Amino acid sequence: MSNIREVARLAGVSVATVSRTLKSPERVRQATRDIVNAAVEQAGYRPNLMAVQFRSRRTGNLVILVPKIANTFFARVISGAQSAAQAAGYRLLLCDTQGREEIEREFAELVYAHQADGVIQLRAYDPFPTGSAETPPMVNACEVIQGGRHPTISLDNHAAAKAMTEHLLGLGHRRIGLIKGPQHSPLTQARVAGYQAALAKAGIPSDPAIICHGDFSLRAGYDGAATLLTLSDRPTALFCENDEMAIGALKRIKEAGLRVPEDISVVGFDDIPLAHYCDPPLTTIAQPAEGFGRTAVEMLINLIEKKINPQQHVILPFELTIRESSAAPSVRQAD
């Protein structure tokens, strides 16, 4: 039976380097990890993982709490997180919480039970009880807790929504409808505030009659568009707070016999893959979904290793992506 010394001989490195690669791969250069892992396979070496975990007090497991796994944006976040976790030698435990606090608390308990080393939370809720002597390792990404105790990764949703609204204003639209996300979501609140800030800067009052509640689903976009199309003074442009709602809105607008963007412009937020392929291709805010996942894993591992300030806050960049679904209003619309 092979042992760690045989692996070190085959890899041409020290026993300590092999041990460090197996226990804390994030501390070893990728090239060295590749050599050691190849030697492990060649030697047929199987380390005693339970002994390694006992000595290091680490499990190699990271929990990611996802509000809705079916959401295309979150699927991309998970993909980025999985790639980063695998590269660092960690396993990613995925939990589809449906936004339910009791499920989030249950999976967060894995850290206390020494079955996971830390948690990535994609919703603005802290599943760990407050008042404990030590804050458990957690990174809050995407929808973040304002003033929370954990490191966060977010987008400037206010600035992004303001930029999108200014794009529509720049095309000549003055009546811009909005289909919002969930009422209590910080993302929704920031995007509504950005929308209203752009209107205020242009001297246009925000009209509640052309603001619809939604929940980031296709159906919410479909229903919101149906409501707005019944208005005698309907909007000339429609800003949906995510791409899925925008795609739902496109379907309802076409069913009404209207054309996008000739009769009404439609824009979204997220830049999911389908946004490029829908008809017409969707003007949207591109945010780095995979980057959220990768950065969250990297921050969490650093937190577990006590390498960063637990109050660190990272803001990722966005890009206004203009496609064929937005255009200047027609003369009839402007009138």
Give the whole-angstrom CA distance, residue 201 versus residue 36.
Answer: 59
pLDDT for the residue 90: 93
320-330 residues labelled b (16+ CB within 10 A) or e (exposed) = ebbbebbbbbe
CATH fold of 4-55 reads: 434 Repressor (Amino-terminal Domain) (1.10.260)
Return the pLDDT at 143: 94
pLDDT at 140 over 90: yes
DSSP-based three-state secondary structure for 148: coil
Percentage with pLDDT > 90 across the chain: 69
Which residues of the chain are in CATH 3.40.50.2300 domains? 57-155+289-317, 157-287+321-334
- Residue 87 burial (10 A CB sphere; 0-12, 13-18, 19+): middle
Nearest to 77 by CA among 122, 119, 108: 122
Instruction: Name the burial class of residue 311, with classes exposed (0-12), middle (13-18) and buried (19+) by CB atoms within 10 angstroms of its CB.
Output: exposed
pLDDT digits (tens, 9 = 90+) for 253-280: 999 999 999 999 999 999 999 999 999 9
281: DSSP letter: P
CATH architecture of 157-287+321-334: 3-Layer(aba) Sandwich (3.40)
Q: What is the pLDDT at residue 133?
A: 61
Question: Is this model's pTM higher than 0.75 or not?
Answer: yes
Q: Say whether pLDDT at 146 is over 90.
A: no
- pLDDT digit string, tens, across residues 171-221: 999 999 999 999 989 999 999 999 999 999 999 999 999 999 999 999 999
Mean pLDDT of 138-161: 94
CATH architecture label of 57-155+289-317: 3-Layer(aba) Sandwich (3.40)
Q: Where in the chain is the domain with CATH 1.10.260?
A: 4-55
Which of the four pLDDT bands, split at 50, 70 and 90, describes residue 148? confident
Q: Indicate if the pLDDT at residue 81 is higher than 80.
A: yes
User: Would the pLDDT of 49 be above 70?
Assistant: no
